[in-house]
Amino acid sequence: MKSLAECIADDIMSMIIIEGRFHPGEKILNESDFAKELFVSRSTFREAVKILSERGVLIVRHGSGMYVSKDVLENRENRFKRYESKIDALELNEIRMMIEPETAYYAALRASNHELKRIAYYGQLVENKIVAGVTDRRTEEIRFHLSIARAAHNSFMDRLAPTIFDAIDKSRNVFNLEEVRQGTLLDHRMIIQYLNERNADFARTAMRSHMLRGIQALKMER
Amino acid sequence: MKSLAECIADDIMSMIIIEGRFHPGEKILNESDFAKELFVSRSTFREAVKILSERGVLIVRHGSGMYVSKDVLENRENRFKRYESKIDALELNEIRMMIEPETAYYAALRASNHELKRIAYYGQLVENKIVAGVTDRRTEEIRFHLSIARAAHNSFMDRLAPTIFDAIDKSRNVFNLEEVRQGTLLDHRMIIQYLNERNADFARTAMRSHMLRGIQALKMER
């Protein structure tokens, strides 16, 4: 569990590197105004600033104010990665739960016939691995779920795809629980069937149930 | 509307730069196997390959096979940007529709008290601009929605934040339709109220209705 000051530090970091509200080298709001906007006490705010100074994000010049480090965006990629590395399998599956039922919904409405065939084909590859008792079926799972995401025909899906991979990758421990294996067989078949029937609401619900199963297994594993 | 060959070209591109299935310099599957996996005719497949050769993604060596260009990942960022630039306001709002109702749900469950105050504060800033008849309230809208997303306490949200900005930015044309202005006042107030009451289901529904309003306005605009 993060402390309040750590949360506030993350918020300020997000304002700089995500929102672009304060630029490299720029002076940020004074302590009193900023603490007020963030609805925290000045002492919590000061603690957050200390965390960010230690990370090299903020520079405090006594008597002058707080400045954003000049090279904060130069290694933005690296900072961002470190920032993200903490995302665990459960958080990733929470995101999948938001996105994939909707992609199944849109895929049922928008998939071309050749896309439907391809989804069924990748589904079959997953099934073959499960039936053969092969322990690693990550590649096939990724292709199955990605082929559905792409069939939703929303150009943004490609940006989300790495998250789907990452979530599948980090969930591999639960792949071989017997209930997950059997559940996956049923879920995938239902999803494919509803997609083929162009039944968008049912496709969404089947994907939702599939995601729930994964989340439940991850929670039991903890 | 994209042609089938263009869709297939996008699929192959996605397999290379997103899925990492084929690496730079590597030979890809032969025409016959690949066309079969993609469930398209060989002539459609050939057309897709032609598109990708023209884009410099694939290199066809006659008598030898198809290879992924060696520098395909070097300017991956640029390719990716060009790839994404086509995303329009409606697509972005489709994504917001998937994500933001759920962030409101989790925010109602997980927001700290100071986060709730901050959300209400940013909501007030939006309201002030609407009441004052100021035409550009993008900054305030972004802070309001981002503060809710952050209060969901899922570290992944920061990765999605730029999409929220982008969507708000591209929707600015509809901000000043009278029904959107009045609707936003009501929606934001309801969202804030449900968050404060920790009523997660209602917070989600209120956000859903807010997103729908935006999508409807964008569709009318077309």
pLDDT in tens, A125-181: 999 999 999 888 988 999 999 999 989 988 777 777 777 887 888 888 888 888 889
Q: How far is CA A67 from the centre of its chain?
A: 31
Looking at the fold, whether B28 and B129 belong to one and the same domain comes out as: no
Q: Name the residue in chain B with its Cα closest to that of A119.
A: B38
Kindly state whether residues B61 and B145 are assigned to the same domain.
no
Q: What is the pLDDT of residue A82?
A: 47
**Given B40, B114, B142, which is nearest A40 (Cβ)?**
B114
CATH number at residue A72: 1.10.10.10
> Are residues A132 and A59 part of one domain?
no
Q: Return the pLDDT at B88.
A: 79
Chain A residues touching B39 at Cβ < 8 A: 113-115, 117-118, 121
Tell whether B173 is within 8 A of chain A (Cβ).
no
Q: Percentage of chain B with pLDDT > 90?
A: 47
Question: pLDDT per residue over B157-191, tens digit each?
Answer: 777 777 788 788 888 888 888 888 999 999 999 99
Q: Establish whether this prediction's ipTM goes over 0.85.
A: no
Q: For residue A86, what pLDDT band results from cuts at 50, 70 and 90?
A: low
pLDDT band at B90 (very low <50, low <70, confident <90, very high): confident
Question: Distance (Å) from the C-alpha of residue B211 to the closest C-alpha of chain A?
Answer: 15
A90-A95-A96 Cα angle (round to 5): 90
Q: Measured between CB atoms, does B67 come within 8 Å of chain A?
A: no
B6 touches chain A (CB under 8 A): no
- Residue A21's CB: how many other CB atoms inside 10 A? 18
The reply to whether A65 and A100 lie within a common domain is no
- Enumerate the residues of chain A whose CB falls inside 8 A of the CB of residue B142: 19
Q: Which of B38, B83, B143 sits opposite A114 (nearest CB)?
A: B38
Q: Look-up: residue for tokens 């990724």?
A: A142
Is A14 in the B-facing interface, judged by CB distances under 8 Å? yes
Kindly determine whether residue B117 and residue A39, on different chains, have CB atoms separated by under 8 Å.
Answer: yes
> In the prediction, which pLDDT does B19 show?
80
Angstrom distance (rounded) from CA B79 to CA B188: 37
pLDDT at B166: 79
User: Which of A81, A114, A164 is the best mutation test for B, with the most CBs of B within 10 A?
Assistant: A114
Q: Which residues of A touch B91 (CB under 8 A)?
A: 154-156
| Shared domain check, A207 and A112 | yes
Inter-residue long-range contacts of B92-95, CB under 8 Å, 24+ positions, other chains counted: B92/A156, B92/B163, B92/B166, B92/B167, B92/B170, B92/B171, B93/B167, B93/B171, B93/B211, B93/B214, B93/B215, B93/B218, B94/A106, B94/A154, B94/A156, B94/B215, B95/A154, B95/A156, B95/B163, B95/B167
Three-state SS at B111: coil
Residues B155, A4: C-beta atoms closer than 8 Å: no
B183 and B158, same structural domain?
yes
- Shared domain check, B128 and B19: no
Same domain, A48 and A141: no
* A18:B162 CB<8 A: yes
Please give the helix or strand (H or E) that residue B189 lies within, else none: helix B178-196
Query: Three-state DSSP class for B155?
Result: coil
Number of domains in chain B: 2
- Name the residue in chain B with its Cα closest to that of A13: B158
Cβ-Cβ contacts under 8 Å between A and B: the total is 106
Domain boundary among A83, A113, A128: A83
Contact assignment for A37 to B118 by CB distance below 8 Å: yes
Do B181 and B95 have their domain in common?
A: yes
Closest CA to A10 of A38, A33, A32: A38
Contact B156 A14 (CB under 8 A): no
Range of the domain at A56: 4-83
pLDDT score, position B221: 74
